[in-house]
A and B are shown apart, each in its own frame.
Chain A
Amino acid sequence: MIARARSRLFAHLWLILGLIVVAFPIYYVFVASTHSLQTILRPPLPLLPGDQFLANYSEALFGGVGRIGGVGVGTLLLNSTIVALGIAIGKIIISLMSAYAIVFFRFPLRMVFFWIIFITLMLPVEVRILPTYKVMVDLNLIDTYAGLIVPLIASATATLLFRQFFMTIPNELLEAARIDGAGPWRFFKDILLPLSATNIAALFVILFIYGWTQYLWPLLMTNSNSMNTIVIALRKMISFADADTEWHLVMVTCILAIAPPILVVVLMQRWFVKGLVESEK
Chain B
Amino acid sequence: MATISLKDVRKDYGRNPVIHGISLDVANREFIVIVGPSGCGKSTLLRMVAGLEEITSGTIEIDERVVNQLEPRERDIAMVFQNYALYPHMTVFENMAYGLKIAGKNRTEIAERVSSAANMLELGPYLTRKPRALSGGQRQRVAMGRALVRDPAAFLFDEPLSNLDAKLRVQMRLEIKALQREVGTTSLYVTHDQVEAMTLADRLVVMNGGRAEQIDTPMNVYLKPASVFVASFIGSPAMNIIEARVAAESRGVVVAGRTIDLDHLRLHLPAVGAPVLFGIRPEHIAVSETEKVDLLLTVSAVETLGADALAHCYFEGGKKGRDFVVRLPGTRTVRVGEHLPVVLDRAATHLFDPESKKRLN
Chain A residues packing against B (C-beta within 8 Å) = 170, 172-173, 175-182, 186, 190-191, 194-195, 197, 280-281
Contacts and interface: CB of A to CB of B under 8 A. Distances in A.
A57 to B, nearest CB: 43
Given A195-B88, A281-B88, A190 B98 contact: yes
Contacts of A191: 87, 89
Contacts of A186: 102
Given A181-B102, A197-B89, 8 more contacts: A175-B85, A179-B73, A180-B73, A180-B150, A181-B72, A182-B73, A186-B102, A195-B89
B316 to A, nearest CB: 54
Nearest to B80: A176
Most buried by A among B50, B98, B146: B98
B72 A179 contact: yes
Contacts of A182: 73, 98, 102
Interface in B204-221: none
A178 B51 CA distance: 9
Contacts of B51: 178-179
A181 B81 contact: no
Given A280-B88, A280-B89, A175 B52 contact: yes
Chain B interface bracket (under 10, 10 to 19, 20 to 34, 35 or more): 20 to 34
B98 A178 contact: no
Interface class of chain A by DSSP: helix
Given A181-B102, A181-B103, A190-B98, A176 B89 contact: no
A197 B51 CA distance: 30
A5 to B, nearest CB: 41
A176 B81 contact: yes
Interface string B75-99: 0011101110111110000000011
A178 B52 CA distance: 8
B88 A180 contact: no
B71 interface: yes
Contacts of B99: 179-181
26 contacts: A170-B83, A170-B85, A172-B82, A172-B83, A173-B85, A173-B87, A175-B81, A175-B85, A176-B79, A176-B81, A176-B86, A177-B98, A178-B52, A178-B71, A178-B73, A179-B50, A179-B52, A180-B73, A180-B150, A181-B103, A186-B102, A190-B98, A191-B89, A195-B88, A195-B89, A280-B89
A182 B86 CA distance: 14
A172 B81 contact: yes
A110 to B, nearest CB: 18
Contacts of A190: 98
Contacts of A173: 85, 87
B79 A175 contact: yes
A172 B89 contact: no
Nearest to B83: A172
Nearest to B104: A181
A7 to B, nearest CB: 40
A186 B102 CA distance: 9
Contact of A176 (B77, B87, B103): B87
Contacts of B79: 175-176, 179
A28 B280 CA distance: 93
Contacts of B85: 170, 172-173, 175-176
Contacts of B86: 176
Contacts of A177: 87, 98
